[in-house]
């Protein structure tokens, strides 16, 4: 015969709220990295970007990769 045990270690309401705010905080931090990277790269001249091996059209994808790692 099989038995199933379901044990919860924290109250579902509190754990849900905590994970919600943790996720929200992480999303905000990643967006800040994206925004700061975009701003810094947009301030560079075309020559500086070329020295880095970037084109102005790739700034958005580079910033996205820096923030989200994709």
pLDDT tens-digit map of 6-60: 766 655 667 778 888 999 999 999 999 999 999 999 999 999 999 999 999 999 9
User: What pLDDT, on a 0 to 100 scale, did the predictor assign at position 56?
Assistant: 96
User: What pLDDT, on a 0 to 100 scale, did the predictor assign at position 8?
Assistant: 62
- Residue 57 falls inside a structural domain: yes
Does residue 1 sit in helix, strand or coil? Answer: coil
- Residue 23 falls inside a structural domain: yes
Domains held by the chain: number = 1
- Residue 2 falls inside a structural domain: no
- Residue 41 falls inside a structural domain: yes
Taking the CA atoms of residue 66, residue 68, residue 16 and residue 10 in that order, the dihedral angle to the nearest 10 degrees is: -70
- Residue 25 falls inside a structural domain: yes
Domain that holds residue 26: 14-68
Question: Long-range pairs for 62-68 at CB < 8 Å and ≥24 separation?
Answer: 62/37, 63/34, 63/35, 63/37, 63/38, 64/34, 66/33, 66/34, 66/37, 67/30, 67/31, 67/33, 67/34, 67/37, 68/30, 68/34
- Residue 3 falls inside a structural domain: no
């Amino acid at each position: 015969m099989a038995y199933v045990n379901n044990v919860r270690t924290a109250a579902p309401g509190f754990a849900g709220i905590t994970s919600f705010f943790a996720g929200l905080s992480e999303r905000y931090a990643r967006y800040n990295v994206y925004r700061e990277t975009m701003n810094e790269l947009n301030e560079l001249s075309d020559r500086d970007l070329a020295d880095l091996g970037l084109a102005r059209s790739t700034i958005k994808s580079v910033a996205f990769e820096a923030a989200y790692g994709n």
